[in-house]
Each structure stands twice: as structure tokens, then as C-alpha cells.
Amino acid sequence: MVTSGRADRAGCCAASRDWGGPIGLDLLGNTLREPVSGDPRSSPRAAAIRGRHAGIPDARPPQRGALAELRGRGIRCIGVTIQTVSLAADLLMLLTAAIVVCLAGAAAVQAARARWAPSARLAGAAGAVAVLYGAALVGAGLSSRPQQLVPGDAKCFDDWCAAMVGVRGDAAAGRLLVDVRIQNRGRGRAMRSSLARAYLEGLRHEETAPEDGSGLRRLLQPGERAEVELVFAAPRSLRGVRLVVVEGTGGLGPGTFEVGGESSPFHARAGWPLEPQPAPT
């Protein structure tokens, strides 16, 4: 279940400063990063960009297709945390499973004693509970809508979090480079997300995997954060394309049976649209 968490909306990219993330894109789609301290306008990168804006020509070749969509447009950063793991949904799943097991066990005991009527009633009750839970599971999935995140927003799976913090194009190689920050927000132990994966989701929900997504599964010490660069083949257009980070292989698992969980049947997933939005004025 995706629930809203801690938010910092004091200003554009306020949360990205905490993540050490970008402050937007320049006119050529290059990610601007703000230093940990000091005025970002004093950085050599910012000075170079001001020079280009002042009329100094750029020698790089023009970009086409999806890469050209990154030109002349900014990306806004807000910094919201969403949590995909719901304690209430987990408890409901465990409680329902316990009730079904108990009723089925009692039905089996009655059947072993040749008490067919009580056995049938208990089995029917177990089936009814399972059907009701299944209806709630599927209904929650069908009624869900994809949550649109912005650069700097963190998507957490318990204490493991990921946030898209930048996107840029490599016109010469025809590739799209996406920067993702991962973090262990736990306090007691090192962890890795062994099932973490990322993909680009198109308008028709087709998935495009990165060339190498193993960086998402690196071991993080308590409180540690790391930046991972994901390389994708550049799509023809960024319209409707989102970066999605999930945990799981897409098959059956505990999350499949969690009401409102992203891994449950037909449930929409939160992701970061890659089409740049106009910079705030």
C-alpha cells in the first residue's frame, strides 16, 4: 500500500539538498547539482551554463527524439517520501490467513470424525473468508491509480528507499542516463534489497530494463546512501514514459496477497515521469 509520508515543501529541491541531488536540468538536459554547502551559482558548472545562456555557442551536436525533449525545460523537485509497505495491510493478511487455516483445520478434524455437516459448514466459512479477502485484494488493485512522483521524491520499501534525482541524454550513444539515489534508513544493521529492480514504463505499460541494474542491490550500511546510474536505450519519445523501481521478480510472493500493495494483482505502481515539466516561476 502506498501511503504519503514525511514531506518538505519549504522550497524547490529542498529535499534534494538533503539527498545531495540535482537542482534541475540545463537547456541541454544536463543535470545541475547543488553542492552540499555554499551558493550553487558559484560552481564552475553553473558559471559555464550562464555563459551559454549569455550567447556563447555550444559545440555539441543537436539532440533528436526523446533526448531533444530534455532541452529548454526544467525539472521541479519537491521531496516527498512514500511508503509501499503497510503494517495494517500486513496484519490483515496474516489475520486472514490464520482464520482460514484454523477453519480449514477444524473442518478436517470434523471430517476425520465423520461429522460431515459441521465439517461442511467450517469448510464453507473458510472458503467465504478467502473469497471475501480475494475480492478486496482484486478490488483494491483495480481501483488504484499510478502515483506520479517528481525528482527528489523517495519511494521506500520499509527502510530501503530509492529516489530518482536526475535524467540526462547521451545523444552520441543514443542512451538515456537516469540517476537514482538509494538509501538505508534503518538504524541497526546493514541491508541490501536483493530483489530491487528498475525499468522504464511506456504508455502501453511495456517495460524496458536498464543495461545493468545490479547497482540497486548493493549493500548499504545504516544511514548510508549511494548514487546509481541506470543506462537505458533512449526511447523515441519521453511522452508518458516513467521510471519505476520495485522490489520483487513479478511472480508470486508475500506482497502478492497484500491488499493495496504494489505487487498485488492489477495494482498500479508509483513512478517518476521522465518528461520534463516547466520550471516553476
Q: What pLDDT shows up at residue 188?
A: 84
pLDDT at residue 141 is higher than 50? yes
Residue 88's pLDDT is: 87
| Rounded distance between C-alpha atoms, residue 178 and residue 152, angstroms | 13
Which is higher by pLDDT, 64 or 27? 64
pLDDT at 67: 56
DSSP string, the chain: --EEEEE--SSTTHHHHHHT-EEEE-TTSPEEE--SSS-GGGSHHHHHHHHHHTT----SPPP-HHHHTTTT-------EEEE---HHHHHHHHHHHHHHHHHHHHHHHHHHTT-HHHHHHHHHHHHHHHHHHHHHHHHHHHT--PPBP-TT-EEEETTEEEEEEEEEEETTTTEEEEEEEEEE--SSS-B--TTEEEEEE-TT--EE--S--GGGG--B-TT-EEEEEEEEEPPS--TT-EEEEEES-SSS-GGGGSTT-TTSTT----BEE-SPPPPP-
The percentage of the chain sitting over the pLDDT mark of 70, rounded to a whole number, equals 69
* Confidence grade of residue 209 (pLDDT, cut at 50, 70, 90): very high
Residue 97 to residue 100: CA distance in whole angstroms = 5
Mean pLDDT across the chain: 76
pLDDT digits (tens, 9 = 90+) for 108-138: 999 999 999 999 999 999 999 999 999 999 9
Check pLDDT > 80 for residue 219. Answer: yes
> Which range has the worst mean pLDDT, 11-15, 71-75, 114-118, 205-209?
11-15
pLDDT of the residue at 37: 39
Q: In the prediction, which pLDDT does 73 show?
A: 41
pLDDT at 99 over 70: yes
Percent of the residues in the chain that have a pLDDT greater than 90, as a whole number:
46
- Angle of CA points 73, 77, 82, to nearest 5°: 135
The per-residue pLDDT for 262 is 86
